[in-house]
Amino acid sequence: MTREPAILLDEAREGSRAALARLITYVESGGQHHRETIRLAYRHHAPYVIGITGPPGAGKSTLTDQLVTAALAAGSVGEIPVAKIAVVCVDPSSPFTGGAILGDRVRMQSHSTDPRVYIRSMATRGHLGGLSLAVPDAIRVLGAAGFSLVIVETVGVGQMEVDIAATADTTVIVTNPGWGDSMQANKAGLLEVADLFVINKADRPGLRETVRDLEQMLDLGERDGWRPAITTTVAADGTGCARLWELIISHAIDRGLPNREQHAERRAAGEIDRVLTAVVSHRVHELHGGADFTRWVHDVASAGANPYDAADELLR
């Protein structure tokens, strides 16, 4: 039986994890309660969002675990008080959530039973916008349920993973010594979104070369006057994690994000952009199936028409 989003949200705000899980499923899977859940969720403050992305095995879960500890100890991100933290685990490359994500949950041992910490994995959403809308929507549901800090952990460094990570206020890219190559393929994409680089497992050989490779990558271009810092951690024993938390806070302050008003406006602009793009892509997709589209394909293929005239007419 499906239940009313308004009732579920009241329960979620009072601490019900079952109600919260149901609401996230509503925004993840679409369906009749999707829009109403959205309406309710966006009436509350957006949380501060930290994105953690990197190749599988880089140690993202252990790092996230350490960041949760640091954030709970600090008690705030700038003006935003942090009493509860949500962790959203996303693996865009696997349509079936399974081993890896379950494994992540198990690995986040110190907080898996902590009542202040909520962990949720997200699968690909089949409707409008896929994960690029489902993740920001879930973030808003978490915000409405009282989570003022959300950590989004995304597996992989391809463009899709990077796009999801980029919905964060502070985006952290995790790599390991000797793994410079894993960044090469999507260098431009990473440079555009990374706010911080972390070389985890820094006690392994190859650290110096990896730092040098990353620095060279960063030499290619600065973005909005922010050059991402490169820091090192050994998440397994906590080395460097306090410093990483400080760097995240510095970035947040540099962007003026702990100020609730500025933070809210920045997030809102990104949210509208993403929905606009998804709606419009959906319309293009619908055009694709239509009779007019088919006629234009024929005209371009054999009657000397061109796709620019076709697009002008189809969009009229």
Q: Is 143 in the site for a copy of itself (CB under 8 A)?
A: no
272 binds a copy of itself (CB under 8 A): yes
Of 90, 152, 157, 247, the one binding a copy of itself (CB under 8 A) is 157
Q: At CA 87, angle to CA 132 and CA 207, rounded to 5?
A: 90
Q: Output the smallest distance, CB 186 to a copy of itself, in A.
A: 4
Nearest 5°: CA angle at 105, between 204 and 80?
Answer: 90
**Helix extents (H) in 220-290:** 241-254, 260-289
Contact 36, 208 (CB under 8 A): no
Residues 112, 106: Cα–Cα separation, whole Å: 7
How far apart are CB 228 and a copy of itself at their closest, in Å?
18
Side chain identity at residue 18, one-letter code: A
Considering only 4, 15, 39, 216, the residue that binds a copy of itself (CB under 8 A) is 39
CA 171 to chain centre: 8
Cβ-in-10-Å burial (0-12, 13-18, 19+) of 160 comes to: middle
In this structure, the strands spanning 80-81 and 76-77 are antiparallel
Nearer to a copy of itself, 2 or 294 (CB): 294
41, 122, 229, 230: which one binds a copy of itself (CB under 8 A): 41
**Window 192-231: contact mask with a copy of itself (x via CB under 8 A):** ----------------------------------------
Q: Which is nearer to a copy of itself, 65 or 137 (CB)?
A: 137
Binding residues for a copy of itself (CB under 8 A): 35, 38-39, 41-43, 55, 92-93, 156-160, 181-189, 261, 264-265, 267-269, 271-281, 283-284, 287-288, 293, 296-298, 300-302, 304-312, 314-315
